[in-house]
């Protein structure tokens, strides 16, 4: 069952580009989308389905983010061309954010990520808890971490 898992997929990763040729390309991409808040922001914009979102609306939709971090993240994504920033010269100020076409192209990645998180997120949390517990109560029988239950 696990041989199926490791044979059928990731065909792309196994294409022989040089051993770390794909690593370098991925590095710069990760510098954009692997930031702490990048994915949450992107997901909110995807969920908006093209409807422009204002700054405060975004901030409230993402629990735990501060205004500083949100600003920084949005600027970075604007620079990468993932997000369009539209400023209305009115008072009080009004700024709207939407995904660009390039931003929408991330959809499959975000979807895969969200699916994985929904399926295995709690398993990961359990494993981490057990790992901590095993460190404290040392010398206990070293168990295999819980395999996914499906």
Partner DNA sequence: CGGAATCCAATCCGATACTG
Partner DNA sequence: CAGTATCGGATTGGATTCCG
Site for a second copy in 68-107 (CB under 8 A): 78-82, 99-102, 104-107
The residues binding DNA (CB under 7 A) are 36, 54-57, 64-69, 71-72, 74-75, 85, 91-95
**Nearest approach, Cβ of 36 to DNA (angstroms)?**
4
The reply to whether 108 sits near a second copy by the rule CB under 8 A is: yes
**Nearest approach, Cβ of 93 to DNA (angstroms)?**
4
Taking the C-alpha atoms of residue 9 and residue 101, their distance in angstroms, rounded to an integer, is 27
Q: Are 127 and 135 spatial neighbours (Cβ–Cβ below 8 Å)?
A: no
What six digits make up the tokens of 4?
A: 């199926």
**Nearest approach, Cβ of 143 to a second copy (angstroms)?**
11
């Amino acid at each position: 069952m696990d041989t199926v898992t490791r044979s059928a997929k990731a065909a792309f990763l196994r294409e022989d580009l040089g051993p770390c040729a794909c690593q370098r390309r991925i590095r710069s991409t990760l510098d954009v989308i692997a930031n702490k808040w990048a994915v949450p922001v992107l997901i909110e914009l995807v969920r908006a389905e093209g409807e422009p979102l204002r700054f405060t609306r975004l901030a409230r939709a993402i629990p735990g983010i501060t205004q500083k971090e949100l600003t920084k993240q949005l600027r970075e994504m604007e620079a990468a061309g993932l997000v369009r920033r539209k400023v209305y010269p009115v008072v009080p100020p009004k700024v709207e954010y939407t995904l660009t076409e390039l931003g929408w192209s991330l959809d499959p990645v975000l979807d895969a990520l969200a699916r994985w998180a929904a399926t295995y997120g709690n398993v990961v949390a359990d494993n981490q808890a057990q790992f901590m517990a095993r460190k404290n109560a040392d010398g206990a029988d070293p168990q295999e971490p819980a395999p996914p239950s499906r």
